[in-house]
Amino acid sequence: MPPPRHPYFRGLSPTLHISHRGGSLLAPENTLAAFRMAVERYHTQVLETDVHLTRDGELVVAHDDTLERCTNGVGHVADYSLAELQRLDAGHTFTPDGGATFPFRGQGVHMPSLRELLRAFPALRFNIEVKPDVPGIEEAFFQVLREENALERSCVGSELDSVGERLARAMPDACHFYPRDALASFVLTVRAGEQPPEDARYTVLDMPLTFGGVRLVDEALLSAVDTHGKWLNVWTVDDPWEMRQLISDGVGGIMTDRPDLLRRILDEHPKPR
């Protein structure tokens, strides 16, 4: 009998609607404008996001470590205070039509702090990646989650194994997703027909659907995930056919930049009994 799932998943069942960076093809990624759209229009169950540490030790919601792609700023996130970052226009570069229009430019869209995001959605679940490997970021992150009463509704981790391990030590009772090397070990061992290594620190496999042209999510992997009491979320899926296939396969969650498409398809697809 598989071990019980982490309390983070209490009341949840496959397939979860997860908005990647809030739905970055519909609104400026990792902004309250995107997150609100995902929650209010498309009833997302989980918001996926990323955090960086600012110059003054605050956690700001952003994917890149530089500012040019998503704002009208230049340079590195870590070189600015939170107040300085929040004066930038986080809607400046977003365009839904290849540069013909910029509907969020000059509309007051800013980079939210992690505290601001957690307070905006006090009952929602989050999947949060800590991006940079800087000393003490795990403690700063833990402090925010604890003070905002968000530990039980946050699945946390990092692509970097060194950071993921520090997060697991700092908050052992939280839900953690596998970092890169530990995830690769689990997946490759299953693909070789062997039992994956057991690692109680990590509960969730957040992973791509394919790698190097090879589809990674298959019956063997899904079976191993269930057997070991884990959970599998697939990123970043924007194709309707793939969404339908993954729902039929019973995958735990789908991360998408098109929360509108995923909501429509989930609403069309009956939940397995």
How long, in residues, is the chain? 273
Q: What angle do CA 116, 117, 121 make, to 5 degrees?
A: 115
Spot the catalytic one: 6, 17, 52, 63.
Answer: 63
Neighbours of 235 (CB within 10 A): 17
Per the annotation, the verdict on 176 as an active-site residue is no
Whether 77 contacts 64, CB under 8 Å: yes
The type of residue at 178 is Y
Per the annotation, the verdict on 20 as an active-site residue is yes
Q: Which two tokens stand for residue 18?
A: 């997860």
Distance, CA of 51 to CA of 137 (rounded, Å): 10
DSSP string, 19-61: EETTTTTTS-TTSHHHHHHHHHTT--SEEEEEEEE-TTS-EEE
Question: How far from 194 is each of 25, 181, 190, 191, CA to CA, in Å?
Answer: 39, 17, 5, 7
Distance, CA of 58 to CA of 101 (rounded, Å): 33
Q: Is 270 helix (H, G, I), strand (E, B) or coil?
A: coil
Question: In terms of DSSP bridges, do strands 59-61 and 46-53 run parallel, antiparallel, or are they unpaired?
Answer: antiparallel
Q: How deeply is 59 buried, as exposed, middle or buried, from its count of CB atoms within 10 A (0-12, 13-18, 19+)? A: buried
Spot the catalytic one: 20, 52, 176, 228.
Answer: 20
* Half-sphere exposure at residue 34, Cβ-oriented, CA atoms within 13 angstroms: 32
Q: Which residues belong to the active site? A: 20, 63
